[in-house]
Amino acid sequence: MNQNEAVQQKLKPRRVSKQNRKALNNPPVKRLLLPTVIYLIIATQIPFIVTIYYSFQEWNLMRPDKGVTFTWFANFMKALRTPSFYEVAMNTLILTISVLTICFVCGLLLALLMNRNFIGKGIVRTMFISPFFIMPTVSGIIWKTMIYNPSFGFSSYFAELFGVEPFDWFTQNPLLAVIFIISWMWIPFFMLILLAGLQSLPIELIEAAQLDGANRLQQFFNVTIPHLVRYIEVVVLLGLMFILQVFGEIYVTTSGGPGFASTNLSFLVYRTGFQSWDVGGASAIGVITVILTIVMMMLMFKVLRRMFKEEQA
């Protein structure tokens, strides 16, 4: 073998096995997800660990002379012994269940409407989706000034039109006013997820049900709803997670008042930490809120699973 043949032999490309070629073309999923996982740990878990640490501290920013002292579970016991905490927890439960119910029912009805073909469908769909992209604080201000205002809002205009005394929403029923604002914002989200489920429904299933003599109502409950099970689980659990964290709408409309009438757990953390300057107490309430959120999501998941299993049985 001369020198040229030796060089050509070295430059000759090596044969790569199918397994190695597949590994080169498709890198491991874990390796691709690693940067995202690291970012999520830094952005969510580290602050939560710091919050847990502060929840065991007595630290009031209005009393820097006292410093920071370790108090174990004193902040948790103080929060659980406060009567207003249970009022706020009940407000959170009522607000969450009410908003989820309104959003699911209205979102499903709108999704069924958008699943049909009619003139101007694109414009109507854009109008229905637009509230979801408005900032929470902006939505709160719009409803506070243009709709709920007892002097020149739309609600007072229609009340006078029908000869009814104008209703001061934020004074007489602030929690209901907040529920309507949040529902208006989140109905488009429910509609989009459920609409995606409806559009993925195979037309063959509907045609088979029609051949079996099923009417529209039977098709809906026996074909459409079973197909939407996964989509309903996703939208309800995501909605539950985000609705429990509502803050901006309450801040710009009622500020949690009158008293604690429209305060939820997320806003109670703000009131304790940034109005009473009790960092330890606010951290303890935040930890309790996270625990309650996890418990509620697990219960909701089990309820949905059991409900849909009974329907499919």
pLDDT at 17: 56
| Residue with the larger pLDDT of the pair 77 and 122 | 77
Average pLDDT over residues 183-202: 92
Give residue limits of the domains in the chain. Answer: 83-312
- Please name the residue that has the structure tokens 């958008």: 114
Helices (H), the chain: 3-11, 18-25, 29-40, 46-55, 74-81, 83-114, 121-129, 136-142, 154-161, 169-172, 174-199, 203-211, 216-219, 225-227, 229-243, 248-253, 265-270, 279-312
Cα 282 from Cα 121, distance rounded (Å) = 47
**For all residues of the chain together, what is the average pLDDT?**
85
Cα 120 from Cα 278, distance rounded (Å) = 54
pLDDT at 264: 93
- Which range, 63-72, 162-171, 233-242, has the best average confidence (pLDDT)? 233-242
83-312, what's its fold?
MetI-like fold (1.10.3720)
Beta strands in the chain (DSSP E): 57-58, 69-70
Q: Would the pTM of this model clear 0.75, i.e. be above it?
A: yes
Whether 287 shows a pLDDT value over 60: the answer reads: yes
Cα 239 from Cα 241, distance rounded (Å) = 5
pLDDT at 3: 55
Helix (H, G, I), strand (E, B) or coil at 278: strand
pLDDT at 1: 52
Check residue 255 and report its DSSP letter: T
